[in-house]
Structure 1
């Protein structure tokens, strides 16, 4: 039986514009180890707001959040930052690679920040990920030399470097053409199947969502299907 990696319990979130209104209403769900889950819904339904809470970036909510069995709700920012670096990998619509570094150095940045393993072990891990994602030839290149799909695969390798409990994505194929979107989807699928990696991906792409293990559909701040 797969362990629960992410759990949201009765999460509510209010905005003030100018009066108080609920943007998230009683959100409850789990993501288990190795599950590839997509979150869909129309713009404004609360998907991105939810992702900010689940990623521990937004702490102004009611309810409880657990990552890898540990309660996040109520932790101090320093503790949450440590959880984000060690337990959560991020892949965004824009890759946020640093042009002053090579591909290899970009991938190593979160691991060097975590500083839990010697440099040689970190480089071994980075090269393993480059090979796994079929981008070894890019290791010494500058991000400016890469295609959009290559940049996203580098971003995925960077997200994987600390062996996170879960990878969260915010429209990771939103900026890509069909061919590169397919490459990124296949990469995520490979991570779930071969590495038992949990993935929670917010997407506007119905074709992407339909091929994931499970769809969480949101409407007006609520989950209407999961």
Structure 2
């Protein structure tokens, strides 16, 4: 179903104690559907990265409800949350975090090894197919340190897609890229949304990038302004 809700946040609050109580997120509620490309913007310190950490299930110390693929995340063990992350969420960061000692193809396959659902042969075929879709299959056998920054980010996107996640979460994915590579990455994200019906949530400072997404969530002082 095209408009099925992939992720929903309901009245999420998050506080730190250092040593006094500081409210970092205040009553955050929104949802993202499959096939929707959503950006989150706001000044540094407004709570964007904290929110992403919670939505990605890496931080479970909050109040409110997080529902991913119709499943409530509260009360799950760390092992159960790790499985949700591996199966349903793909991650792309500002820094690609590729492992230099592995080839491009092996880097893409790594989350698949972790999930341990498919044979190595099938994983390798799937990884190659993803590289082909991203126009970088010629890099498959190269070592990660031998390719350019823009290419590395495309490899990181392929790696995020290897387990066929429901939702892709990206933290400043174009922060280190020039305008040409930013455009390439944007087009790839569009393709993932339109052709593969993925839900995309992107934290970005890049206003031009944000205004071209389907919807922009603007944060200020731990709240959603719009």
Residues 177-197 of structure 1: CA deviation (Å, up to 9, x unaligned):
111111111111111111111
Q: Where in structure 1 are there 5+ consecutive unaligned residues?
A: none
TM-score, with length taken from structure 2: 0.98
Give the superposed CA RMSD. 0.8
SS of alignment partner, residue 155 of structure 2: helix
> Which residue of 2 is the match for residue 204 of structure 1?
205
Q: Where in structure 2 are there 5+ consecutive unaligned residues?
A: none
Residues 76-116 of structure 1: CA deviation (Å, up to 9, x unaligned):
10100111111100000000000010000000000111111
Equivalences for residues 81-160 of structure 1 within 5 A? 81-160=82-161
SS of alignment partner, residue 106 of structure 1: helix
Mapped to 1, the partners of 2:130 and 2:45 lie a distance apart of 35
Equivalences for residues 190-201 of structure 1 within 5 A? 190-201=191-202
Moved more, 138-147 or 153-162: 138-147
> Which residue of 2 is the match for residue 31 of structure 1?
32
The alpha carbon displacement at 1:136 in A equals 0.4
- Dislocated runs of 4+, deviation >4 Å: none
Mapped to 1, the partners of 2:153 and 2:124 lie a distance apart of 20
Mapped to 1, the partners of 2:15 and 2:6 lie a distance apart of 26
> Which residue of 1 is the match for residue 175 of structure 2?
174
The alpha carbon displacement at 1:18 in A equals 2.5
Residues 32-55 of structure 1: CA deviation (Å, up to 9, x unaligned):
001010000000000000000000
TM-score, with length taken from structure 1: 0.98
The alpha carbon displacement at 1:119 in A equals 1.8
Mapped to 2, the partners of 1:63 and 1:211 lie a distance apart of 30
Residues 167-222 of structure 1: CA deviation (Å, up to 9, x unaligned):
00000001111111111111111111111111000000000000001101101100
Corresponding position: 1:62 with 2:68 = no
Mapped to 1, the partners of 2:100 and 2:16 lie a distance apart of 36
Mapped to 2, the partners of 1:221 and 1:48 lie a distance apart of 11
Mapped to 2, the partners of 1:92 and 1:21 lie a distance apart of 26
Mapped to 1, the partners of 2:19 and 2:119 lie a distance apart of 51
